[in-house]
Amino acid sequence: MSQDSDGGEMMSLREWRQAIRTPVGNRTLRIQTQFVSLVAFIGLVVLFLVYTYAVDHHSNPSVEAVKNKSTVKLYMPIVTTSSHNNYNTTYPLTTPKRTSKGIQFRIGMVSDLDKESKSKTEEFMWLSYYKKGYLLWNPLSNSIKVSWDTGDPIVLKSRLGESGRGMELSELVVFNGKLYVLDDRTGIVYELLDDRVIPFVILNDGDGRMNKGFKSEWATVKQRKLFIGGLGKEWTTNTGEAVNTHPQWIKTVASTGEVEHHNWFHKYLSVRRVLGIEFPGYITHEAVVWSDVHDCWFFLPRRCSKERYNDVLDETRGCNVMITTDDTFTDIKVLRVGNIIPTHGFSSFKFIPGSSDQVIVALRSEEDKGATATYIIGFDITGKILLPETKVADKKYEGFEFI
């Protein structure tokens, strides 16, 4: 027993001596090395499990699943130097001139010639007309005068079409210090630069996962994004049978070209119901603008009807109302603007810059048994007419802007 005890004591002494001879750093280093190795091993195992799970469970969402979402976010492969931080707020692009008679603005409008947009002289070419002029506004008398450049309008050309049609331009809008036009046939948003069109983004129909171009009809800027919408009614046959709700989606486009698709089905229904209209009745929208000043949406519908859609009768269902709503689409108001002219309907409008969004200049288009025409009108947000409806052209222009 005594020998065993002495041996144990001697062993403890040797261990103690060895311990005090070994530097503390070496022991710590060994412990740290072992700990790091253990963490690294565990990390590799976790990454492997996550990767395996992702591969096994990844799948593309179905179109039906996407339809049930209110927003679908897609990214366009656009290369640009622009960013949200350096957004160009210049508006209008041409500096207004102050004269003794008022403030003079440069204005422009683009045509939608439908099937007549196809060039008769160049193969695989489609055309639109770009007409420029001047608008004189006197803030004191609140009077408006419009004049147009002499000579023929500028011809805009593109070889991009869909199903044999293209360049049916439905809107003209300033966004991020640039001028854009919308083709309601191909879904292409073009930049208008030096009187020529350059493709910016392509908008697909509905939730963005369709192989058809979005029928763009209106555009406005809100929170430094370009909001683009369609007719706002159910897509129907020529006799009014519902086909889909693709026109009741809208698009938002960032200055970088990023596109998001938003389901506005219920918002459009709220706007329609304020006029007591339910499907198969309808309202079509081609003139919608967001106002930062009033913090609300302004709608000037093209057509309004409590009857089922009919391709022929639709030409005589013009509307003369202005609808405003807050961003939640719960506080909705209606105002009458002038008298109804059955074949005339609003196709585009803008607030006069500097009017605190009190004065509106709008285009009204006419399609009647094959004949077309465009009229311009000015009024304030109370509905008071400042510029009586005046004929501009025998062609159909559907996009207006202060350029």
Residues 33 and 103 both lie in one domain: no
**76: confidence class by pLDDT, cuts 50, 70, 90:** very low
Q: How much is the pLDDT for 241?
A: 97
**Known binding-site residue numbers:** 170-171, 217, 286, 347, 398
The range of the structural domain enclosing residue 25 comes to 2-57
Residues 246 and 313 in one domain: yes
pLDDT for residue 78: 40
8-12, 73-77, 247-251: the lowest-pLDDT one: 8-12
| Domain match, 46 and 153 both | no
Residues 11-45 have pLDDT tens digits of 443 443 444 344 444 444 344 545 545 555 565 55
State whether 53 and 85 are in the same domain: no
Residues 209 and 341 occupy one common structural domain:
yes
pLDDT tens-digit series, residues 82-117: 455 799 999 999 999 999 999 999 999 999 999 999
- Name every residue whose Cβ is closer than 8 Å to that of residue 401 and which is 6 or more positions away in sequence: 92, 107, 108, 109, 172, 173, 174, 179, 348, 350
Mean pLDDT over residues 285-297, rounded?
Answer: 99
Residues 21 and 169 in one domain: no
Specify the pTM: 0.81
Residues 395/102, Cβ–Cβ less than 8 Å: no
Q: Do residues 16 and 72 share a domain?
A: no
Which residue has better confidence, 11 or 301?
301
What is the rounded average pLDDT for all residues in the chain? 87
Q: Could you tell me if 167 and 105 lie in one domain?
A: yes
The Cα 92–Cα 107 span in angstroms is 9
Token representation of residue 83: 């960013």
Q: What are the C-alpha distances in Å from 128 to residues 170, 192, 267?
A: 10, 12, 32
User: For 134-148, what is the mean pLDDT?
Assistant: 98
The pLDDT value recorded for residue 21 is 42
Q: What is the CATH number of the domain that holds 288?
A: 2.120.10.100
| Confidence label for 196 from pLDDT (cuts 50, 70 and 90) | very high
Using one digit for the tens of pLDDT, what is the confidence trace for 211-232?
999 999 999 999 999 999 999 9
CA 8, 9, 14, 16 torsion: positive or negative? positive
> In the predicted model, what is the mean pLDDT of residues 194-208?
98
Whole-number pLDDT of residue 69 = 54
Last residue of a domain, one of 38, 57, 76: 57
Q: Report DSSP state, residue 140.
A: T
Does 20 lie in the same domain as 127? no
pLDDT of 60 strictly over 80: no
Q: What is the mean pLDDT of residues 289-309?
A: 99
Same domain? 13 vs 147? no
At residue 72, the pLDDT reads 62
Peptide bond into 92 cis (omega under 30): yes
Q: Which segments are annotated as binding site for Ca(2+)?
A: 170-171, 217, 286, 347, 398
CA nearest to 341, candidates 379, 372, 315, 308 = 315
Kindly indicate the confidence band of residue 66, based on its pLDDT and cuts at 50, 70 and 90: very low
Number of domains in the chain: 2
Q: Which of 57, 79, 95 is the last residue of a domain?
A: 57
DSSP-assigned beta bridge partners for residue 334:
323
- pLDDT score, position 43: 59
The strand ranges marked E within 77-187 are 97-99, 102-111, 126-138, 143-148, 154-158, 169-175, 178-183
How confident is the model at residue 73, as a pLDDT? 55
Q: Can you tell me the distance from the alpha carbon of 314 to that of 81, in angstroms, rounded to the nearest whole number? A: 44
Residues 36 and 120 occupy one common structural domain: no
Q: Are residues 28 and 81 in the same domain?
A: no
